Amino acid sequence: MLKKLLIIAIPVLLIGCMPSHKLALLDQKYPVVYEDLSLLIDNVAVIDDRPEISYRDIEIPTMSWPWTEDIVCPPLSKAQEELIINEVARHTTESGKKVNAVVYIVEGEKRFEGLIWGELEYVRVNLKINLYDSMHQPFYLSVSSDTFFEVKSFDASDDYIEQLYCKAIRYSIFQCFKQFKIAHNDQPPPADSDDSI
C-alpha cells in the first residue's frame, strides 16, 4: 500500500512544481545593448526568409503518449512582427548614427513531443539582422543568432509554446545586438558623409 501511495504522490508533486518553473523562464528579462552603439534606428523591416511554412496550429493531444510528436513552422503573425520591431527599437538612442534595420527570419519552429515521463515543449528561432546607413550601405557586418528553448513538464499547451517562441525571438535579438556591440568595439563603422534619410 505504501508503494502505491509513493508512486501516486511523486507525479502530483512534480506537476505542482512545474508551472512556477515555466513561468520563471518566461519572466527572464534582457537588458538593452545600446550604450556603446549610439544608433538611431529609423526604420525596421521584417522579412520571413524560411523556405517552408506550416499553415496550421501545433497539435497537442489531451493525453500524450511516448514518441508522440508534432513540428510546425508557424507563419509570421502580426503580433510577432510587432514584437520584433519593438525589440529592435529598444536598442535605439535619441541621437546617434541613423540606420535602418532589416530582420530576416531564417528559422522558426515549434515542437511538441510526448515523453515516457512528461512532455517536451521546444522552440527554435534563428534571426539575422542587417543594419544599413542612409545610402543603404552595410553599417556593420550582418549578425545572426540561433536560439532554442525546451521545457519538460506535464502541462504542455499551445499558449505556452507561443510564449516560449516569443521569448526566443526576444533573446535572439538581444544576442544580435551584443554581437553588434562587439563589432563596434573591434572596428569602428565606416564614415558616412550624409546622415539624412
Spell out the domain ranges in the chain.
36-186
- Whole-angstrom distance, CA of residue 166 vs CA of residue 169: 5
- Whole-angstrom distance, CA of residue 110 vs CA of residue 149: 10
Cell 515523453 belongs to residue: 115
Cell 507563419 belongs to residue: 75
* pLDDT tens for the chain, residues 1 to 197: 333 333 333 333 333 344 566 766 666 666 665 556 778 888 999 999 999 999 999 998 888 888 899 999 999 999 999 999 999 988 888 777 888 999 999 999 999 999 988 999 999 999 999 998 877 777 766 889 999 999 988 888 999 999 999 999 999 999 998 888 777 666 554 444 333 22
- Whole-angstrom distance, CA of residue 35 vs CA of residue 178: 11
For residue 59 the three cell numbers come to 497539435
Residue 149: per-residue pLDDT: 92
93 CB neighbour count, 10 Å cutoff: 14
36-186: which CATH number, 3.30.420, 3.30.160, 3.30.1330, 1.10.1060?
Answer: 3.30.160
The helix or strand, by DSSP H or E, that contains position 71, with its residue range, turns out to be strand 69-72
Residue 14: per-residue pLDDT: 37
